Amino acid sequence: MRPLTETETQTLFQKLAHYTGNSLKNLIAPLDDSPNADRYVFRIHKDRVYYVRLSIANLAVSIEREKLTSLGLCLGKFTKTGKFRLHITSLPILAEHARYKIWVKPNGEMPFLYGGNIVKAHVGRWSEDCPEHQGVIVYSMNDTPLGFGITARGTSEARRLDPTGVVAFRQADCGEYLRDEDNLFASG
């Protein structure tokens, strides 16, 4: 497990900022105001990026690389081409710091959790002034995070769509824990 390089950090922050906006800085802020305050850091192990407390990451240095499988919260992985891909395991962090949100009606939850995109008929409400091609967190009507995606249209344009028009493209959903469990936690 090692710290990210400058280019890896930049790539990761660009991807996270797509969903969190300005609250990205809250992810790495110290946990309290004391001089030796613990904070969260990003560490890479093989091709996966983990979000973990610095004190725990320092303890993990004493474990052999081959025997260490996971540490902290897995945010995603770097592809062979150097792009960063968010995993569904990053949903708790993204949901906590989300900039734009979409709430789906109960009749739209299952189609989304089975891997489908969000259509206008399934949208209960959404954040105001959400631009096109922006990262959004998808919630059920009772504020349970279900996944995340990218908006297909801006909020004002989406209001004029017909009921079958796609409002957001699915990137990841909680159904992946079952559908993709063999690959989700496999170390590459």
Which pLDDT belongs to residue 186? 60
Which pLDDT belongs to residue 166? 95
178 secondary structure, DSSP code: H
Point out which residues pair with 123 in neighbouring strands.
Answer: 104
Segment holding 173, helix H or strand E: strand 166-173
- How large a percentage of the chain has pLDDT more than 90? 60
Angstrom distances, CA of residue 22 to CA of 25, 35, 98: 7, 25, 10
Angstrom distances, CA of residue 74 to CA of 41, 48, 149: 12, 7, 18
pLDDT tens-place string over residues 119-173: 999 999 998 889 999 999 999 999 999 999 999 998 888 888 999 999 999 999 9
Q: Beta strands 135-140 and 101-104: pairing type?
A: parallel
The pTM (predicted TM-score) of the whole model is: 0.86
**Where do the domains of the chain lie, and which CATH numbers do they carry?**
2-93 (3.10.450.220), 100-178 (2.30.130.10)
